[in-house]
Structure 1
Amino acid sequence: MEIIKGKSAFAAIAVGKIAVYKKEDQPIKKRRTEDPEGEIARFRKAKEEAADQLQKLYEKALREVGEAGAMIFKAHQMMLDDGEYQDCVQHMIQTRKVNAEYAVGTAGEHFANIFAAMDDAYMKERAADIKDISERVIRNLIGKGRQDRDFTGPVIVVADDLAPSETVQLDKDKVLAFVTSRGSVYSHTAILARTMNIPAIVNTGIDLEQDLDGKEAAVDGVRGILYLDPTLEVLEEMKKRREEEQQKKELLLELRGKETVTLDGKRIKLYANIGSVSDIAGVLKNDASGIGLFRSEFLYLEKKDYPTEDEQLAAYKTVLENMGGKKVIIRTLDIGADKQIDYFHMEKEENPAMGCRAIRICLERKDIFKTQLRALYRASAFGNLSIMFPMIISVKEVDEILEIVEEVKNELREEGIAMGEAELGIMIETPAAVMVSDELAKKVDFFSIGTNDLTQYTLAIDRGNAKLDRYYDAHHPAVLRMIQMTVENAHKHGIRAGICGELASDMELTETFLAMGVDELSVAPSYILGLRKKIREIKIKA
């Protein structure tokens, strides 16, 4: 028996034979063209074919995995139709006189590299989506638009990596589990595996050149382990645990529509964190009370130039309308540090995590900030919107923000543009904000604690530095005291305090947070029901 370890993408068990899925190599040759307009026409035709294919994939996914999984392909259609992406391809063909295949491949690499360079795991995985779209267009250009693979019976699919389109095109009745050599738990393929309730392990490093086809295997998606040629003892254990996991899932589904309330009556708002419009279906499917963190920077990261007010309005309006009156908290632009955007032309900094980022950029470049605020306030007419501002360190910053907000609201009133009411909050993610939270609470309607940055700034440890993992302790008493102080000062002034960082889904701390008086927890959509179960089993008062 051989044991191979990876990362769990969907915690479930599967036993069966392996089928290796290998992609067909698609080499791109650079050719000079004397007919750039002809190449542009070829690109446009291939893009239209790709749009039709994505629509069919959306319809197939809608039937087989529901709205949550299908929305991935709506997001791909939006990326494909993005003006910056199309302009980049066409500009390259015209100015460099190259063939369409090369231009599409180069443009795809350019946009994918922007996402891949980010520290944020969710945003990093959007690079795979960009590559998937570009590869689809290239296949159409070279006349290989479909890449189907059929299996004779239920198998454990082992691959280097899988694109969302490849995942959906597989017959899910014949897929027992997914195992990939590369990939991330934040990839859309991993999201699809969770939606399809298919066990999945990623980043195993498995060698696909060895003889794997037809080999017996067991997938432990809970522990992230693949067993090749498992023993009878392992097979018996897998079977028993699979039955237990199935019982737990059935119980969790019964919690949809139930209140998130402790045994002694404390009610908690359970919100979801999202990174794009396509994530809304997962929020609704998992019965979140609303959206506690909408990362608006994705609108900027996907572009080659600043998104317009109308482009932003369209995205915010879509989210608000789809949430049907539930709370939607949108965080204003949070770039800098690991999230760099070329067209912002930011100066290189020795220590970007401590540099010009998030609200500092907005206050330095008020035209960008006001454009976003105008879009947000226009969108507030279509739902229950709250706005929060990241990386706050002082009361002075909040006062300046509030002045700009009033300027924007007055401009919109003078123009006769409809607005709703929007609560204003700040993220508490610096020790400075914690220490002056007593004063900050007088200025805003709510606090949202970003534990990722708060932890790294409190411990003086770069959370992206693997060499410091032994020192990084998200449960450090100093971090917990920071959270406690923030909650106490919020309640002292009659405002609510929530947590939207990674610690919000850490069930080892759930009871601690509730005892502190935390009002809201905002987590990835897939954690909602499990966290609801945990909260309903807790009794806070002795």
Structure 2
Amino acid sequence: MSDGKVKSMLETAVVVKVTEGLHARPATQFAKLAKEFSCSLQVLHGSTSADAKCAVKLMLLGIREHDQIVLRADGADESDAVERMAQFLSSPEAGVQQATAARAADAAACGAEPVTLVAASRAGASNSDSSGTNSGASTGAGARSETPAEETPPLLGIPASEGLAFGDAYVYLPEPLQATRQFIEPHETAAEAVRFNRAFDDALAALDRQFDTMGDHDGIAEALVGVAQSDEFAGEIRARIAAGRDAAAATLEVGATLAASFETIADEYLRSRADDIHGITRQVVLRLTGRQDVSLAGLTKPCVVLASDLTAPDLARANVANIVALVCTRGSATSHLAIIARSHGIPAVFGLSVPDERLRGVAQVAVDGALGHVWFEPTCALQDQFAARIGEARANRAALDVYRDVEPVTRAGRPIRIAANLGSPDEIDAAKAAGAMGVGLFRTELLFMNRRSLPGEHEQYDVYRRVAEAFAPHPVVIRTLDIGGDKPVPGIAFPHEDNPFLGWRGVRMCLDRHDVFKPQLRALLRAATIGNVQAMLPMISDIDEVRRVKALMAECARELASEGVAFGEPKLGIMIETPAAALTADLLAPEVDFFSIGTNDLTQYVMAADRANPNLASLYRCDHPAVLRAIAMVCDAAQRARIEVAVCGEAAAQPRMIPVLVGLGVDELSMSPACVLRAKKIVSEL
């Protein structure tokens, strides 16, 4: 008989203050906290809800920082539960501070920012004996390019990094995994469950070992293990095995379904967790099928890497000393991969129009990076010609060493600074060895990429300080964050744009996101006390953008002063890469201390030709009269305002363009370190 009382549940609305929302780590910590209470706990987000004790379901809600959610509790300890859970959600450091506290019990925190796990295993390598490559030879920029006579015509691609190379192929292609069977007999289910558990535990142990070698990232490993061990992944796989599915087939199906769920989430970081699901799935299935993946980290001998596509992180994991050349069926000459290849003097050709299946059968390759020519299975005669040309090119580069400490001056007595374009402190030594007179462009994008969260002020300051110290007293020009929807980073939600190259990117995004921009500006101001640090703004189209940045820098300076933190006053320059900036250079010049012409984008925008589209190669020309007139207009405006003008695009390193640019009035040429010595020689002979 009822006592007449109506059972009620407790609900409360909470605005989520957790930095970047309930992504993997805080969701895992939140679920762990929820499990301490006996009451049922639900999280409502819009029209969807999830069990607060399940990290995977929480992540699939896509809860972002500043979102409002509802906590619903039902049980004896519901009041305590709601209070504790609301407190967790109201803390910006939730999920991070718990992991830090746990680490402090074992060792002193190293202070490193966490990085995103990139599941390299998802992009498997395929080669008959990829790790057993024989020999290879290459030379970087400066090699003379000519098509050998009486030889099979080469395949044509996009020249991405100068140089000649030939050697054995290392084929690096995604290779889908398949289960050898789909169903098992009823009497096999117990043994199949044991087999899955063994492969699963081994894969997670390998994950832990990987993170142990990466340093202070155990919180991320814990989150990934939590996802793997969840009912939605391991639980569902075990259920399918019990129902008669093969372990490998069940793992592939569940992994694909769960990854697809993450891929529908709007938040970029949470959406990229699909890669983690694919990675965990692949590692388990590899063990179930007795197969092993090969990655670029496994290169033990010199070879030419053939791939459909590669990313900068892929190359970062490789032993670049064993990569004599890169050939990809996708990619562009202005990609980050191409930039890294040039900085290491690795010949590269991208956009090669051949199917993946053809790549799989290639044993040897010859590459001319300057012309974009590739030969599969080169004849002995061609290899002999390449060997001779490579030897000649090496001799020529050795002769360039006399220019290492030269500060070039034209015969008319005009000094021209030859600086380096860098993407990370790892490239400092190569630039200094080449005699670079400072840094004309330090790209900060790589500092923001391949990680879970945005870099903080102190981390950025440390990087800028290191570069400034290395090149003092020469100038170091640091470009503020230049990203958009075409190369998003975790922590910044970019809207879908039909054309991200003309969208919310560069300074446009930064001016709307002070939480992203101010830490970078503060770091730049602080680094200006160390060396000759200069700041440069990308994607400027309007004078008001420059003035707003200057006002924000002044605000940062006042904050640092009130905090008693030392700071300097870096020179401020802008990239001239939009037609608007070129056409109004005379209005912009009085507002800044220098110009730097980004010929890559300027050419693309002036010519209305996508620089990554090989079908438009004839239009994408920095020596087109329209582009040259734009450069001349910028140089004239700079001279009238008595400010310097540099070129930091790829045209700065092209031998045929250097005399043209200097003649138009350019004061500085900035390029990949591998091209510095040659540029010094050319300028000295003008």
Normalised TM-score (structure 2): 0.58
Q: How far did residue 289 of structure 1 move?
A: 0.8
Kept in 2: contact 1:321–1:383 (CA 8 A):
yes
Which AA in structure 2 matches 1:12? L
Say what the alpha-carbon RMSD is for the aligned residues. 4.6
> In terms of mean alpha carbon deviation, does 459-468 or 306-315 score higher?
459-468
**Unaligned stretches of 5+ residues in structure 2:** 1-150, 180-192, 235-247
Shift in alpha-carbon separation, 1:201–1:364, aligned structure 2, 3 A: closer
Counterpart selection for 2:379 from 230, 233, 237: 230
Match of 1:5 in 2: 155
Shift in alpha-carbon separation, 1:369–1:190, aligned structure 2, 3 A: closer
Q: How far did residue 397 of structure 1 move?
A: 2.1
Counterpart check, 1:388 vs 2:536: yes
Q: Distance in 1 between matches of 2:523 and 2:197?
A: 43
Match of 2:554 in 1: 406
Q: How far did residue 257 of structure 1 move?
A: 1.0
Match of 1:457 in 2: 605
Q: How far did residue 451 of structure 1 move?
A: 1.9
Counterpart check, 1:296 vs 2:444: yes
Q: Distance in 2 between matches of 1:425 and 1:42?
A: 47
Q: Distance in 2 between matches of 1:366 and 1:377?
A: 16
Kept in 2: contact 1:496–1:519 (CA 8 A):
yes
Deviations 1:362-406 (A, max 9, x none): 222223222221122122222221011122222222222211111
Counterpart check, 1:327 vs 2:452: no
Which residues in structure 2 correspond to 1:116-135 (within 5 Å)? none
Q: How far did residue 298 of structure 1 move?
A: 2.3
Q: How far did residue 470 of structure 1 move?
A: 3.8
Q: How far did residue 26 of structure 1 move?
A: 10
Match of 2:489 in 1: 341
Q: Distance in 2 between matches of 1:321 and 1:96?
A: 52
> In terms of mean alpha carbon deviation, does 307-316 or 477-486 score higher?
307-316
Q: Distance in 2 between matches of 1:97 and 1:401?
A: 47
Counterpart check, 1:92 vs 2:227: yes
Asked which structure has the greater RCO (Cα within 8 Å, sep 6+), the reply is 1
Match of 1:47 in 2: 211
Q: Distance in 2 between matches of 1:300 and 1:239?
A: 40
> In terms of mean alpha carbon deviation, does 393-402 or 264-273 score higher?
393-402
Shift in alpha-carbon separation, 1:442–1:303, aligned structure 2, 3 A: same
Counterpart selection for 2:403 from 255, 272, 280: 255
Q: How far did residue 495 of structure 1 move?
A: 1.1
Match of 1:72 in 2: none
Q: Distance in 1 between matches of 2:528 and 2:544?
A: 26
Shift in alpha-carbon separation, 1:344–1:265, aligned structure 2, 3 A: same
Which residues in structure 2 correspond to 1:36-435 (within 5 Å)? 43-48=207-212, 51=213, 86=221, 89-90=224-225, 92-93=227-228, 95=230, 98=233, 168=319, 195=344, 205=354, 207=358, 210=361, 212=363, 223=371, 224-226=373-375, 228=377, 230=379, 232=381, 234=382, 237-238=385-386, 240-341=388-489, 343-435=491-583
Shift in alpha-carbon separation, 1:88–1:322, aligned structure 2, 3 A: farther
Q: Distance in 2 between matches of 1:439 and 1:411?
A: 30
Q: How far did residue 409 of structure 1 move?
A: 0.3
**Unaligned stretches of 5+ residues in structure 1:** 52-76, 119-126
Kept in 1: contact 2:419–2:670 (CA 8 A):
yes
Deviations 1:464-523 (A, max 9, x none): 344444433322222212211211111212211111122222322211211121111111
Match of 1:63 in 2: none
Counterpart selection for 1:516 from 664, 667, 677: 664
Which AA in structure 2 matches 1:93? A
Which AA in structure 1 matches 2:155? K
Shift in alpha-carbon separation, 1:290–1:198, aligned structure 2, 3 A: closer
Match of 1:58 in 2: none
Q: How far did residue 413 of structure 1 move?
A: 0.6
> What's the % identity of the aligned pairs?
32
| SS of equivalent to 1:43 | helix
Match of 1:527 in 2: 675
Is the radius of gyration larger for structure 1 or structure 2?
2
Q: Distance in 2 between matches of 1:83 and 1:495?
A: 50
Q: Distance in 2 between matches of 1:244 and 1:265?
A: 32
Match of 2:644 in 1: 496
> In terms of mean alpha carbon deviation, does 524-533 or 451-460 score higher?
451-460
Q: Distance in 2 between matches of 1:427 and 1:149?
A: 38
Normalised TM-score (structure 1): 0.71
Deviations 1:7-47 (A, max 9, x none): 66552365x8x577789989699998799999866533333
| SS of equivalent to 1:497 | strand
Kept in 1: contact 2:170–2:306 (CA 8 A):
yes
Kept in 2: contact 1:167–1:189 (CA 8 A):
no
Shift in alpha-carbon separation, 1:41–1:365, aligned structure 2, 3 A: same
Q: Distance in 2 between matches of 1:158 and 1:502?
A: 23
Shift in alpha-carbon separation, 1:150–1:358, aligned structure 2, 3 A: closer
Which AA in structure 1 matches 2:661? F
Kept in 1: contact 2:454–2:490 (CA 8 A):
no
Q: How far did residue 430 of structure 1 move?
A: 1.9
Kept in 2: contact 1:395–1:439 (CA 8 A):
yes
Kept in 1: contact 2:485–2:496 (CA 8 A):
no
Q: Alignment length, in residue pairs?
A: 471
Q: Distance in 2 between matches of 1:350 and 1:330?
A: 29
Which AA in structure 2 matches 1:421? E
Match of 1:61 in 2: none
Shift in alpha-carbon separation, 1:299–1:472, aligned structure 2, 3 A: same
| SS of equivalent to 1:424 | strand
